[in-house]
Amino acid sequence: MLYHLLYPLRDHFSGFNVFKYITFRSAGAVLTALIVSFVFGKPMIAWLRRLKVGQQVRDDGPQSHLTKQGTPTMGGLLIIVALAGSALLWSDLTNKYVWVVLLATLAFGAIGFWDDYLKVVKKRSTGLRALEKFGLQIAAALAVGFFLFYNPSDPKSTYLSVPFMKNVLIDLGWFYIPFVVVVIVGSSNAVNLTDGLDGLAIGLVGIAATANAVLVYLGGNR
């Protein structure tokens, strides 16, 4: 949004020329997401506690897990709002891949919300069954994979760029689609499974997002 509002004014004020740089807008998006998280994080936790939206722990699990009963859940809503809001504010909204990422994020966020809803409201401690969750995740990732495969940005869109190896490109061909599925579903569950009961997914998201950002930057600036 800011890109479309301010970058066209670069002829009147040269300072707005910085909006053409992805690095600048990425930094702005990160800062915006952090501010949103810091400003609304504590009030949202208090709000979730008032609603008694807490972690449901199975009685047949380890006794140490019972101390986590009631840990506020559904905090992923704040992550989604911060990420989507900052992306809409700083991205080039004419870029179709921005919308692909946003829609994929919202789709996985919806799956996570439904999982938490079943745990908190329906009192099903396991939430979505494993097959249900994986099925929905794979379906969403497949949609992304097929879209990217059939809407390439250039002839080498299905090539895998190896970081730190400038001239190494691997053409995945049709294997690009299952590769996309593995990366998206794997990344999602790497955070989800590691998170555990403490409600600290944001730290894991930060680590995963930073690693992915470095790889994307290196791949896009070969």
Tell me, what's the pLDDT at 89? 92
Q: Which residues of 85-120 are buried (b: 16+ CB within 10 A; e: fewer)?
A: ebbbbbbeeeeeeeeeebebbebbbebbeebbbbbb
Compute the distance between CA of residue 2 and CA of residue 92 in angstroms, rounded to an integer: 9
Q: How far is CA 43 from the centre of its chain?
A: 22
If one counts the domains in the chain, the total is 1
Q: Give the pLDDT confidence of 147-170 residue by residue, as tens digits.
A: 999 988 877 888 887 777 777 888
The single-letter code of the amino acid at 55 is Q
Containing domain of residue 100, as a range?
Answer: 2-220
* pLDDT(67) > 70: no
**Each residue of 75-99: pLDDT tens digit?**
778 888 898 999 999 988 988 989 9
Q: What percent of the chain has pLDDT over 90?
A: 24
pLDDT tens, residue by residue, 109-147 = 999 888 888 877 777 767 788 899 999 999 999 999 999
This prediction has a pTM of: 0.77
pLDDT higher at 26 or 66: 26
